[in-house]
Every structure is written in C-alpha cells, then in structure tokens.
Amino acid sequence: MRLRRIAQLVALHLCLSGCGLVDLPVDSLQCSAAHPCPAGLSCLEGICTSPDASLPVFGDDFEHRNLLESDVPAGPWTRSMVASGNSVAIVPEAAHRGDGGLRAIDVDTQDVFPAFVGHDRAWSGDQSVRTWLRVVASNDFSDTSLFKSDEPSFMFGQWEVDLFPGGQVRALSWVDSQNAISDFSDAGVVVPGQWRLLEVLQRGAQTPDASLEVFVDGVREVALEHYPGFLSSGAISAGVFFQDKPAATITVDLDDLRVANEPQPTRLALTPVRHQSGHACAEYRLELLDVFGGVRAAPYALELESGTALFADADCTSALGPMPKAAVAWPVFAKDTSSLSVTHPDFLPSAPVAAPGTSCSATGGAPVVLLAVWLARRRR
Ligand SMILES: [Ca+2]
Ligand SMILES: [Ca+2]
C-alpha cells in the first residue's frame, strides 16, 4: 500500500508539472553485473526477468504433430479418450496461431465421454488454465464439458467448465465427493464460429475460501466465490470431456493452452515513455497484463506486430527484436504517430496510445520514485 501511495503522489506530481507521461526508466529493466535488477527480478541475458508464477508449467501450442507422451516423438499429453466415430487431433484448420490447433469432433454417438486429451499431474495451490477456444459448430442441445480438473482419485472432479445452449458458460466446482456448486454466465458468451480467449482461474485452493472464475476475452463472465476448496487436482482435460445428451454434436478448436500457478498474461499494454529531442523516434514500454491489470512475464519469445514499423532504438535504425521469454517489459520505439498499438496473435491487442511528447525534464529523485510506480503496479 505504501508503494501505491508513492505511485499516486508521483502521478499527481507529473500531472501538476504539466507532463502527462510517466518517464519510467526502462534502463532499470536492462541489467548486468554492475546494474542488478530490482528486488524480486533476476537478470537473464541482460534483461530483468520475473520468476513469475504465471509462467506455464504445462502447455501446448499444437505446433508439433503428436499429442501423447507415448507417441514418437512424444507429445505433452498423457492420455486421450475418443469414443467410436469421434476424433481429437492436431489439424491446421484448428490453428488460432501458427500451423496447428487441437480439433475435437463429437458426433451423434451414445458415449457420454466423447473426445478429449488429458494431462495427469499432481497439483495443489492456485491454478490458471487459459486457451484460445472456438466452437466451430454445434447443434446446441446439450450440456457439454470442455475443460475439467479431476480430483486425484478420478472418482469426481475438482472443477469443470461447461457449455450450454445459447453459448452460456457454466463454472462448476466440487466441495467434496457428494456436493458441487455452480453458476452460469449470460447467454452468447461463446458464439459459434468465433475465437475466444478463455481463462479458468481457481484461487484459494486447499483453503476454506476458494474461488473459481471464468474470464472470456479478459472479462469475468462467471464466478464462484467463498466456498470450501480443499480438493486438489490430479489431471487437466480439454476437448469434449462429457456430454449429458450423447445425440448432441459439437466441434471445438483449441490453441495455445497453458497452465500456470497464477493469472496468466491476457493483453498487451503500451505506455508512452518519452521522446528525446534530437532523436527520430518516440519510446514506449510494452508489457503483458493479466485480467487484473498486473504485469506478467512473457511465456515465450514474442514477435510483435503493428501497423506502424517498430524499432529497437531511439533513432529508428534497428528493427525491433522479439520480446524475450520471461521478460516483464520491452522497450519499443516508433516514429511519431497519433495512435500506436501492438498486436500478437496469442494476446488481446494493446489499446492505442498517443505518441509521447518531447522528453520532460526529470527531477533528481525521479528514477527512484518512478521505479516505485512500476513496482507498485506489479504488485496490484
Ligand atoms: Ca498453434
Ligand atoms: Ca455426441
């Protein structure tokens, strides 16, 4: 709270001084033996990186051609279940990013466990499961489970996310082997034919005050709160896990599915930093934000895109390289523009920002207090 107060005072100072920019010292995010990172960050290849619990411990971008650990070469999933006539496979048509995605096809069969892949792992503590999701087609007559975390005995679940007629999403969590609680989103949250970025977030796991929230395109659509969440997880499954009316049909695509211990990055964010006089380009700071606005580390090296050419230096002479894996911020330079935004197919785009003006003169203590702004933002 003290840092947040400092951040507020600094922001007030900047407003009163007529400088609308947060002149954050991006240099602080670059590091060496002589210039160590701020507390909580570590220096990796010259960049301050975060030992961020949002970094995935399991994931699949479906760019390989095998699903299962038993395949050669091995895939990341430990098991699959595919009822006769159904299928679950990596296909180009299911890609949201890259050349492959996972397509689960459920047809009119009598099986209630139609087509899914599972990754068995003992899991305790908070859990974030995020994926791009597209319902290709459905005859919309059934309660269909798309994601499930199983309790380790596999006799019941820990939580699940289901799709209902009209595109309603249901979040359901078990309290014990006999009892579960659930709630629904509004209808139309998952519309056939459109990609959605879905994140399932369980917090307070193994405590008497747990919550299960489902975010769609960064918006919290359904939430279960303040329930006893003592169960842990033994597996994550995805695809078409369960269907209460087997005659129903559905085809689902998934891509960039990742699992982590904390909320994962959802959106790109640009902040104008400065435009130093005598240089061709203005500087911005690029970050990845989770659904709560917290800064999160890049889960892998990110090739950024924009309608405007992006550069790595203030004179706009070097093309911008990828944001390194685990970096928490990346300096971006562009020639003056009234509206700059940055995109990457795995994340929601940054909101457009206006180019910064000519550099404000910093006061003597500014670098310290401005670093506090950044730290306070990280800890929200
Ligand atoms: Ca892919
Ligand atoms: Ca079916």
Backbone angles phi, psi at 34, to 5 degrees: -80, -20
Q: What is the pLDDT of residue 244?
A: 87
pLDDT digits (tens, 9 = 90+) for 29-47: 778 888 887 777 777 777 7
Q: For residues 137 and 232, what is the distance between their CA atoms, to the nearest angstrom? A: 33
Identify residues whose C-beta is under 5 A from ligand 1, the ion: 61-62, 95, 97-98, 100, 255
Of the ligands numbered here, which is closest to the C-alpha atom of 243? Answer: 2
Please give the distance, rounded to the nearest whole angstrom, from the Cα atom of residue 116 to the centre of ligand 1.
17
Of the ligands numbered here, which is closest to the C-alpha atom of 111? Answer: 2
Q: For residues 299 and 52, what is the distance between their CA atoms, to the nearest angstrom? A: 10
Q: What is the pLDDT of residue 140?
A: 72
pLDDT digits (tens, 9 = 90+) for 68-109: 999 999 999 999 999 989 999 999 999 999 999 999 999 988
Please give the distance, rounded to the nearest whole angstrom, from the Cα atom of residue 119 to the centre of ligand 2.
23
**Domains defined along the chain, listed by start:** 2-53+265-378 (no CATH), 58-260 (2.60.120.200)
Output the DSSP codes for 167-200.
GEEEEEEESSSS-EEEEE--TTSS-TT-EEEEEE
Q: For residues 21 and 11, what is the distance between their CA atoms, to the nearest angstrom? A: 9
Please give the distance, rounded to the nearest whole angstrom, from the Cα atom of residue 101 to the centre of ligand 2.
21
Look at residue 142 and tell me whether its pLDDT is greater than 70. yes
Q: Are 68 and 75 in contact (CB under 8 A)?
A: yes
Please give the distance, rounded to the nearest whole angstrom, from the Cα atom of residue 151 to the centre of ligand 2.
25
Of the ligands numbered here, which is closest to the C-alpha atom of 142? Answer: 2
Please give the distance, rounded to the nearest whole angstrom, from the Cα atom of residue 167 to the centre of ligand 2.
17
Identify residues whose C-beta is under 5 A from ligand 2, the ion: 106, 246
Q: What is the pLDDT of residue 11?
A: 39
pLDDT digits (tens, 9 = 90+) for 183-226: 999 999 999 999 999 999 999 999 999 999 999 999 999 999 99
Of the ligands numbered here, which is closest to the C-alpha atom of 245? Answer: 2
pLDDT digits (tens, 9 = 90+) for 54-77: 889 999 999 988 999 999 999 999
Query: How many other β-carbons are positioned within 10 Å of the β-carbon of residue 336?
Result: 14
Look at residue 7 and tell me whether its pLDDT is greater than 60. no
Q: For residues 151 and 107, what is the distance between their CA atoms, to the nearest angstrom? A: 28
Output the DSSP codes for 39-83.
TT-EEETTEEE---TTS-SEEE---SS--BTTSSS--SBSEEEE-
Look at residue 368 and tell me whether its pLDDT is greater than 60. no
Of the ligands numbered here, which is closest to the C-alpha atom of 65? Answer: 1
Of the ligands numbered here, which is closest to the C-alpha atom of 64? Answer: 1
Please give the distance, rounded to the nearest whole angstrom, from the Cα atom of residue 352 to the centre of ligand 1.
27
Q: What is the pLDDT of residue 38?
A: 75
Q: What is the pLDDT of residue 162?
A: 96
Of the ligands numbered here, which is closest to the C-alpha atom of 345? Answer: 1
Of the ligands numbered here, which is closest to the C-alpha atom of 251? Answer: 2
Of the ligands numbered here, which is closest to the C-alpha atom of 63? Answer: 1
Please give the distance, rounded to the nearest whole angstrom, from the Cα atom of residue 146 to the centre of ligand 2.
13
